[in-house]
Amino acid sequence: MQMIHGTIDEKKDRLTKWWHGHGLGRPAMHLTMMDKDYSLNYQGECPKGDIHPKYTFKSMAYRLYLEEKNLYNKIYYGEAIPCCDADLAAGVLALFLGCHGIEKKDTVWIEADFEHHDTIPIQIDPDNFYYQFFWRLQTHLKEKYGDLACGFPDLIEGIDIYAAMGGTQNTLFDIVDCPDKLLRTIEKIDEAYLHYYDNIYEKIKDSRGGSMFWIWAPGKISKVQCDISAMLSPDMFNQFTMPTLKKIIQHMDYSIYHLDGPDATRHIDAILSIDELDVVQWTPGASSDMLSCGTYHSRWYPMYHKIIEAGKKIMLQGINSSDKLKKLKDEFGKSLGNFYIQSHLTTKEEADKILETAQL
């Protein structure tokens, strides 16, 4: 791996300043590029069937090979820090709690195995296949890479896990038909989340006590979300999601809310009302209309201003050219220092030009 713009410790020092509101003279920048001079070939027998390059759990040896390759085949610019993790799916908590994962080339589908709230088993099972695979993989990574193995799996929490385990349609019915039972089950899910989170943190934390999810932080970090919120009214969001968000965020040292798609933005005021929340990460969505309105688009500027005025920071992906970054800089000026920009680039010239444009 090649580190540009300082050692890992120097990057962590800068990120600590950024988290604590001390300016870097630019936004924090997580820029990576493939290292064309690096190669690593797998010597064993490749697993059969579909293999997901980030989540596969078909072979421990092959997964360890993929983690090593993913760690070393990049050049890391700005505040980008190498990291490997033992993630198995988006919403891996549902797997830990008894669901089955179907591995595909582009995702791991979590089967909604439990059709009714009375059948959803919210219990800790240390012998669960997925948890055992995760724990053995994380142990191997930590022993081999030390502080570079501090990435959190994408546990997910609350009503999103309920929907993953029982199905989205059933969840919407339960909101109307049995809200009290739904809330009790969500509380149990959140208790399980915190149990797994704390155990994993003790395993992966680096020598500074830091951890990583999308970004390194000098303590406990978590990404929270509610993708089903696109289907919820503000009253439903306040009843079924806000208690989860407050509980998880208040447990952490640093937190990110993953806001996904225009239909979820109706809840932005409720989200910003959580004092302890640090960052909002915005994803415009995958529809054809949204694909033409990237995170740099002026359509989102009023929301960005609202987030900054609420005292939060903003995390954006897809700012992969200096022209896109300049649009943000022209609009936000010095406030651009509150942004965290993530992008994967193709040339050194692109990286240098973006970093030059980022200077405030």
CATH number of the domain at 131, please.
3.20.20.210
Residue 98: inside a domain:
yes
Q: How many C-beta neighbours within 10 Å does residue 181 have? A: 13
Residue 145: inside a domain:
yes
Residue 117: inside a domain:
yes
Find out whether 97 and 121 touch, Cβ atoms under 8 Å: yes
* pLDDT (average), residues 155-164: 98
- Which structural domain, as residue segments, surrounds residue 201? 42-72+83-207
Please report the pLDDT score of residue 119 as a whole number. 74
The helix or strand, by DSSP H or E, that contains position 110, with its residue range, turns out to be: strand 108-110
β-pair partners for 225? 258
Residue 173: inside a domain:
yes
* pLDDT (average), residues 10-14: 98
Q: How many CA atoms lie within 13 A of 133 on its CB side?
A: 21
Tokens of 240: 């079924």
Residue 303: inside a domain:
no
Tell me the C-alpha distance between 12 and 30, whole Å: 12
Q: DSSP readout, 15-76?
A: HHHHHTT---SS-EEEEEEE-TT------SPPPSS---TTT--S-HHHHHHHHHHHHHSEEE
Residues 6+ apart with CB under 8 A from 236: 175
Residue 144: inside a domain:
yes
Tens digits of per-residue pLDDT, 296-355?
A: 999 999 999 999 999 999 999 999 999 999 999 999 999 999 999 999 999 999 999 999
Residue 168: inside a domain:
yes
- What value does the mean pLDDT of the chain take? 96
Tens digits of per-residue pLDDT, 237-250?
A: 999 999 999 999 99
Residue 268: inside a domain:
no
Q: Which of 329, 321, 325 is nearest to 346 (CA)?
A: 321
Quote the pTM value. Answer: 0.97
How many domains are there within the chain? 1
Tell me the C-alpha distance between 48 and 211, whole Å: 33
Tens digits of per-residue pLDDT, 21-63?
A: 999 999 999 999 999 999 999 999 999 999 999 999 999 999 9
